[in-house]
Amino acid sequence: MKLYYSPGACSLSPHIILRETNTPFELVKVDLKEKKTEDGRDFRQISRVGYVPTLELDDGTVLTEGPVIVQYLAEKANATHLMPQRGTIEWYRMLSWLNFITSELHKGFGPLFKPTMPEEGKAFVREQLLSRIAHLDQHLADKPYIMGENFTLPDAYAFTVLSWARPLKIDLSGFKNITAYLERVGQRPAVKEAMKAEGLIK
């Protein structure tokens, strides 16, 4: 199995889950501007959408969309500790959080990476994003992880996208629960290994 990734991008979330589940995999770095893999292949020939994360299975099947890739990985590894039982209300709550992270947080950060986006537009996006971050901060007031007592799939994703706040100069220091949460998740061995492998920490 191959995970196509870009350092620190949203592909860090499935990368963490690959390590949390001890799944054997190969990491392939992608230059997202040039759409080239590190071994010189045309990335669009592998993933028509041209974005990471892209998972390539051993039979050549390609799977995209981070929130779906993490579910695939956890189910294949039978990692019942990383997700509630399918079909239960807790399962749907987990899907609800994955969807919140992808549509409200991940895609909320997106425009802030665009150098061509006017500052007025960025201010609007930032305000909206901060209100979504406040919602997660409140949710974390009485629990260490998004789903409660244990680290599950949405935590890898939330950790990944919230780590973009610092380089984008979004001050999270007022969100005490999130600050403690990022510290907690960042201490997990699988998270540290993934970040190290991507060259994000030493």
Ligand X SMILES: N[C@@H](CCC(=O)N[C@@H](CS)C(=O)NCC(=O)O)C(=O)O
Q: Which residues of the chain form contacts with ligand X (CB under 6 A)?
A: 9-10, 32, 50-53, 65-66, 102
Least Å from the CB of residue 65 to ligand X:
5
Least Å from the CB of residue 201 to ligand X:
18
Residue closer to ligand X by CB (options 64, 150) is: 64
Least Å from the CB of residue 44 to ligand X:
10
Q: Report how far residue 122's alpha carbon sits from residue 145's, in angstroms, rounded to the nearest whole number.
A: 29
Residue closer to ligand X by CB (options 36, 150) is: 36
The residue with its CB nearest to ligand X is 51
Least Å from the CB of residue 4 to ligand X:
9
Residue closer to ligand X by CB (options 52, 162) is: 52
Q: Report how far residue 7's alpha carbon sits from residue 122's, in angstroms, rounded to the nearest whole number.
A: 24
For 176, the 3-state DSSP assignment is: helix
Helix, strand, coil % in the chain, rounded to nearest 5: 50, 10, 35
Q: Report how far residue 14's alpha carbon sits from residue 29's, in angstroms, rounded to the nearest whole number.
A: 14
Residue closer to ligand X by CB (options 85, 116) is: 116
For 12, the 3-state DSSP assignment is: helix
